Chains A and B, each alone.
Chain A
Amino acid sequence: MTLLSVRDLSVAIHGTPILHGVSFDLVPGEVFGLVGESGSGKSMTALALMQLLPHGAQAGGRALLNGDDLVALSERRMCGLRGREIGMIFQEPMTALNPVKTIGDQVAETLVIHGAASRGEAARAARARLDRVGLLADQFPLDRYPHELSGGQRQRVCIAMAVALRPKLLIADEPTTALDVTTQAQILDLLKGLVEEDRMALMLITHDLAVVAGVADHVAVMQAGRIVEAGVTEAVFRQRGHDYTRKLFAASGHVPQRRARVKDEPVLTVEGARRRYPLPRPPFSAPRWFEAVRGASFTLHAGESLGLVGESGCGKSTLARAILGLDPLQGGAIRLFGTHAVGPQMPNALRAGLQAVFQDPYGSFNPRWTVARLVAEPFHLMPTTPADARDRVGAALTEVGLTPADASRYIHEFSGGQRQRIAIARALITRPDVIVLDEAVSALDVRVRAQILDLLADLQDRHGMSYLFISHDLSVVRAITDRVMVMRAGEIVEAGPTERVLDAPEHPYTRELVAATPRIPPGWMEDTDAA
C-alpha cells in the first residue's frame, strides 16, 4: 500500500532546472532515506512536496498523497495538509523555534491552527506530545522558552510539533546533522519509534550513508537533481550499481595510504593543562568561571598523527587554542621540544613551528587578499621575509595540488575543497613541526574529504611533521590517526592506539560514543574498491 507516490517531480528556479524527473514511493510504517552530497537536490525535493519552495521556484510532475496532488494543490488546501497530514522537521534546531514564544504554545499551535482542539485541550495534547518525545513535565514545563533548551532538546520540541496531529507522512531534513553523535542516536531512535507506533511514513534526508544504513528500509541516491539509484537499503549498499554510488560509497569509507614513521622524540608535551574563562555575570555578583579544560596531559611525537575526539563543548577547541599559544593557561604547561613554553607570549621563531588548519573553508581567508599574500602571511614570524618568498608560496601551492599561477587569484574563485588546500599550504609555508587540524575536513562533502585526507597523509609521509587531529567524527579519526584521545567535560578520559580505542573501548564514555556512532554493517561494503 503506497502512501505517497512521486512521479517525474521537477523544480526550476528562475528557469534553471534543479530537479529532473524525480520518482519514488513511500509506504506507511517505513523509512525512506534520500542521500546525496550538498547541492544534489535532496532538500528541494522535500520543500517541493510541502510547497514551501523559495520564491521564483516552479515545480512540475505529480506527487499523490491520498489522491491529492501535492504539486498542484491550492495554497489553501496545502495549509490544511501541512501539519495535519505531513509534518516536517529541519536541520538547524537552534533557529527552528520562535525565540519569543514558549515551547508549549508552539507545540499547541499545530493543533489550534487546524481547529483540532480548544486552547485547553491543545495545551494538554502538547504536554502529552512533549512527554512522548522525552521532554518530561517536571524538567520541561510548557512555559519554557527555546533559548533555555539545548540543541537536542529543541529538536525534540520540533518533532513534537511535527507529529502533534499524528500526520501520515513525516519529512526530516538532515534532522541530526547539527547534533552530537550521542544525541543523534537518541533522536534517530525516537523517530524510528514514532514511525512504528503511528505507522507513519518517514522520509529521511541526509548526507550520512551510515545513518541511512542504520535506519532506512528503502534508499534513493541523488546526484545533481536526479535519483541515480534506488531500492531496498541493503541491496543498494551491496550492489552499488551506478558509477556515482560506487564513488560516493568508496569515499565514505576511504582510508588513505599511510606509512607511519613515528619517532620516539616528543615534539609537543602537554602537562596538566588547565584553562578556564569567566562566564558573563551581572555586575556586583561573584565571578563565575567555566572550567573548559581540567588538567589535560599528553605527548605528541615526531611524525605522529594524534586524534582528539569529543562532543561539542567538551573543551577540545579550547585546548587547541591553548596549544596554538592563542590563550594563556591557568595551570600546567605546554612545551615544544620539551623545553620551550607555548603561550601568548612565545617568541615568533617558536610560533613558526606550530601552525593550524581550521574548519570553515569560507571564513579562513581574508577575502580582500590574493592567495599569494594569504599563504605568505606566516612569514611575518620570520625576522625578515625570505628572498625566495614567491617561489616558496608557489612550491607550497604545488605541494597541495594547486599551481603557482593560483597565487595571483582571490579566494572567492576557489571551491571549498580547494580552499582547504590553500589553508594547508599556508600552514606548511613555515615548515612547522606540528600542524593542528581543527575539524579541518568536517565541512567538506565525502568525496572531497577523501581527497584532502589523502593529501594530508601524503604530506606527512614527505615531511614527517606531527598532526594533532581534532574532530567529532570517529570515522575520520580512524582513517588518519595513529593514536587517539577521547575528551569529555574538559578531561581526557581515554587514550591509546586508534584501533584499540575505537574497537575495544575501555572507558564507559568511549563505549557510549562508539556505540552511538552510526556504522554501515561491515558485510555490506565488501569488495569496496579504493577509487
Chain B
Amino acid sequence: MRGRASLFIGGGLAGAFVILALLSFVWTPYPYAAMDIAAKFRPPGALHWLGTDQFGRDVAAQLMVGARTSIAVAIVAVGIGIAGGVPLGLWAAASRGTWVDEVIQRGGDLVFAFPSLVIAILITAVFGPSALNAILAIGIFNIPVFARVTRAGALSLWTLDYIRAARLAGKGRARISLEHILPNVANLLIVQGTIQFSLGILAEAGLSYVGLGAQPPTPSWGRMLADSQTLMGFAPGLAIFPGMAIVLTVLGLNLMGDGLRDLLDPRLRRRA
C-alpha cells in the first residue's frame, strides 16, 4: 500500500515537471529570453508568477525551458547507461568466471574510481563545455552502474532451474540472456533507471552551476542558481525557485523509484 502511495505522489510530481517541459515547446508565459530591464527584480505576482530576474526575464518561463534541458540530459544519460551497461552486464553474467567477466567488472571499477564530475571536467577541459559533454560525462558513469545491476540480477537467475531447462531445449547463452534473463531483470532496471534519472538531474544541475553544462542562452536550473548567487542578498527568490524545482523533481523521481521497487520486487511480494 505504501509502495502505491509513493508511486502516485512521486509519479505525480515528476510527471508534472515533464508536462511543464513538454508544454514549454508550445507555450511559456513569456518568451524565456525576452529581456525587460524596466521590469527587473519583480517579486512574484499576477503578471510574473514567479517574478523576474536581473534582466527582467520571466522566471517561470525560464524554469519551464530549464526543465527541458535537465530532463533531456538525464534521459539521454540513462539511455546511454542502459544501452551500454545492460548488454555488458548480461554478457558478464553469461560468461561468469571467464576473463570477459573479469574485464567487464574491473573496467566498471575503474570508471567508478573517477568521480563523475572529474570525468566531466576532463571532457570539458579538452572539448569545451556544452550540454552534449555533460550528457556524455553523466552517461559514461551510468554504464557501469547498469552493468553491475544487470550482472548481479542475472547471476542469481543463471543458477535457477529454468535456465537449465532452456539449455536442455538447446538454447545458447545469448538466446537465454535475451529470452529468460533480460525480462526478469527488467524490474531491477526500471527501478535503477528511475534512480539514475534523478541522479542525472542533480548532476546536470551541478555541472551547469559551475559552467560545464548547457551554455547560454539555453536556460538551465543550475546556471539560474549560479547567476542568482551574487544577488542572493536582495533577491533570494531567484535562488529559491530553481532550487525548489530541482528538489521537487528529484524527490518525485526518488519516491517513484521506491514505489516501483516495492511493487516490482518479487522478494518483497513473496514475503507479503
Q: When A and B assemble into the complex, do they touch directly, with CB atoms less than 8 Å apart?
A: yes
| Contact, CB under 8 Å: B169 / A377 | yes
B217 at the interface (CB under 8 A from A): no
Interface size on B, residues (CB 8 A): 16
| Contact, CB under 8 Å: A356 / B168 | yes
Among B50-58, B71-79, B156-164, the one that faces the other chain is B156-164
B266 at the interface (CB under 8 A from A): yes
Chain A, residues 25-50, CB within 8 Å of chain B (1/0): the string is 00000000000000000000000000
| Contact, CB under 8 Å: B170 / A356 | no
| Contact, CB under 8 Å: B169 / A366 | no
B164: A residues at CB distance < 8 A: 324, 326, 356, 358
Residue of B nearest to A352 (CB): B170
- Bound CA–CA A260/B165 (angstroms): 28
- Bound CA–CA A369/B165 (angstroms): 13
- Bound CA–CA A363/B168 (angstroms): 15
A381 at the interface (CB under 8 A from B): yes
Interface residues of B in 80-97 (CB under 8 A from A): none
- CB contact under 8 A between A348 and B168, given known A358-B161, A365-B162: no
Candidates B160, B165, B168; contact of A351 at CB < 8 Å: B168
- Bound CA–CA A366/B168 (angstroms): 14
A51 at the interface (CB under 8 A from B): no
| Contact, CB under 8 Å: B184 / A367 | yes
A380 at the interface (CB under 8 A from B): yes
- Bound CA–CA A366/B266 (angstroms): 13
Interface residues of A in 362-381 (CB under 8 A from B): 363-368, 377-381
Least Cβ distance of A94 to chain B in Å?
16
Interface residues of B in 166-202 (CB under 8 A from A): 166-171, 179-180, 183-184
- Bound CA–CA A426/B164 (angstroms): 13
B165: A residues at CB distance < 8 A: 356, 358, 364-365, 377, 423, 426
Least Cβ distance of B105 to chain A in Å?
14
Residue of A nearest to B167 (CB): A326
A377: B residues at CB distance < 8 A: 165-166, 169
| Contact, CB under 8 Å: A380 / B169 | yes
Chain B, residues 85-128, CB within 8 Å of chain A (1/0): the string is 00000000000000000000000000000000000000000000
| Contact, CB under 8 Å: B183 / A378 | no
A234 at the interface (CB under 8 A from B): no
Candidates B160, B169, B183; contact of A363 at CB < 8 Å: B160
- CB contact under 8 A between A351 and B162, given known A366-B180, A366-B184, A367-B184: no
- Bound CA–CA A348/B172 (angstroms): 12
| Contact, CB under 8 Å: A354 / B168 | yes
- Bound CA–CA A348/B167 (angstroms): 11
| Contact, CB under 8 Å: A355 / B168 | yes
- CB contact under 8 A between A324 and B168, given known A367-B184, A367-B266, A368-B184: yes
| Contact, CB under 8 Å: A368 / B183 | yes
| Contact, CB under 8 Å: A381 / B266 | no
Give the interface centre of B161, B164, B171 by most chain A CB atoms within 10 Å. Answer: B161
Least Cβ distance of A369 to chain B in Å?
9
Candidates B161, B169, B170; contact of A360 at CB < 8 Å: B161
Candidates A359, A363, A381; contact of B170 at CB < 8 Å: A381
B160: A residues at CB distance < 8 A: 360, 363-364
A367: B residues at CB distance < 8 A: 184, 266
| Contact, CB under 8 Å: B170 / A380 | yes
Residue of B nearest to A280 (CB): B97
Give residues in A with beta carbon < 8 Å to B: 324, 326, 348, 351, 354-356, 358-360, 363-368, 377-381, 423, 426
29 inter-chain pairs at a CB distance below 8 angstroms, sorted by A residue, are A324-B164, A326-B164, A351-B169, A354-B168, A355-B168, A356-B164, A356-B165, A356-B168, A358-B161, A360-B161, A364-B160, A364-B161, A365-B162, A365-B165, A366-B162, A366-B179, A366-B184, A367-B266, A368-B183, A368-B184, A377-B166, A378-B168, A378-B169, A378-B170, A379-B169, A380-B169, A381-B169, A381-B170, A423-B165
5 further A-B contacts with Cβ under 8 Å, apart from A348-B170, A365-B162, A367-B266, are A351-B169, A363-B160, A366-B162, A378-B170, A380-B169
- By Cβ-Cβ distance, the 9 closest A-B pairs, closest first, are A358-B161, A363-B160, A364-B161, A348-B170, A378-B169, A380-B169, A377-B169, A381-B170, A363-B161
